Amino acid sequence: MTDPRRQKLRSRLADKELLVAPGVFDGISARIADQMDFEALYMTGYGAVASHLALPDAGVATYSDMVGRVAVLAKATKTPLIADGDTGYGGLLNVQYAVRGYEAAGAVAIQLEDQEFPKKCGHMTGRRVVPMADMVDKIKVAVASRDDGNFLIIARTDARTTLGLDEALRRADAYAEAGADILFVESPESVDEMRTIGRSFDRPLIANMVEGGRTPVVDKKTLEEIGYGIAIFPVLGLLAAGEALRQAFGHLRESGSSIGGDVPLYKFAAFSDLMGFGAVAAFDETWRR
């Protein structure tokens, strides 16, 4: 079944203006971002694993863990959801299940990467990649497995950090030939490297803007000039929420009260409405005897 959000995203990527997608990691972050008229949201694997399992993004989350998060976030939002699918959770048959599962769960795109299992966050060291031919087969299976041709396949290569930029470019080109709709060369280490990536491909490219990561965080105009089509900010919300919690809980521990805390708080009534308590009240009003 065709989801209009998928067609909308595919059509949007034909434009030259950069599409900016915030990272969402749980129902609260997804609901808040969904209200802000972004053109897409990005389900961050780093954040989803941290919030759901309190564990590092190091290959410990299963397909069942992650497809469940996709379903929750896609159901809670109207904005197109791009979802991290790690390595596809195994071999070629696993990739088929992952693509079909993410599509059925409501994502508009799945991101697959060429790391060895267990994978690691793309801005950590020690990442190793599978042979290029193995990832090419994964992309071919992913393309053949989708029911909706507008469900996008994102091919990510992590080769830059250990094998160099030239190898990363060679791999991205092979993944494009295999049918990937969007290319993601992970963790370039300078703006010059980003410009080289931009000159190398005519398909939509993802820039991964990780505050404190290996890639420079640059402004929207520069990313557009380089040739990126999508900029994801996977941990911006996660880091902001984490610091706010650290400060709020720190004040509570020190003073024994929330009085005098200086962390801005979401208004309780507005937050309750965000979570759907207005609909609960309306239901009660209709059906209360």
Mean pLDDT, to the nearest integer, of 41-70? 91
Point out the least confidently predicted range of 33-47, 119-133, 174-188, 256-270.
Answer: 119-133
Indicate if the pLDDT at residue 226 is higher than 90. Answer: yes
Ranges of each domain in the chain: 4-241
Confidence label for 116 from pLDDT (cuts 50, 70 and 90): confident
Cα–Cα distance, 11 to 2 (Å, whole number): 14
pLDDT tens-digit readout, 72-94: 999 999 999 999 999 999 999 99
Q: How far is CA 95 from CA 23, 144, 145, 206, in A?
A: 23, 11, 9, 21
Indicate if the pLDDT at residue 288 is higher than 90. Answer: no
For residue 266, give both structure tokens. 């979401």
Q: What is the architecture, at CATH level 2, of domain 4-241?
A: Alpha-Beta Barrel (3.20)
Confidence label for 57 from pLDDT (cuts 50, 70 and 90): confident
pLDDT at 122: 53
135, 149 contact by CB (below 8 A): no
Indicate if the pLDDT at residue 123 is higher than 80. Answer: no
pLDDT at 124: 60
DSSP string, 239-262: HHHHHHHHHHHHHHHHHSSSTT--
| Residues contacting 218, CB < 8 A, separation 6+ | 191, 194, 209
DSSP conformational letter for 116: P
Q: How far is CA 178 from CA 83, 111, 134, 144, 174, in A?
A: 20, 15, 11, 11, 6
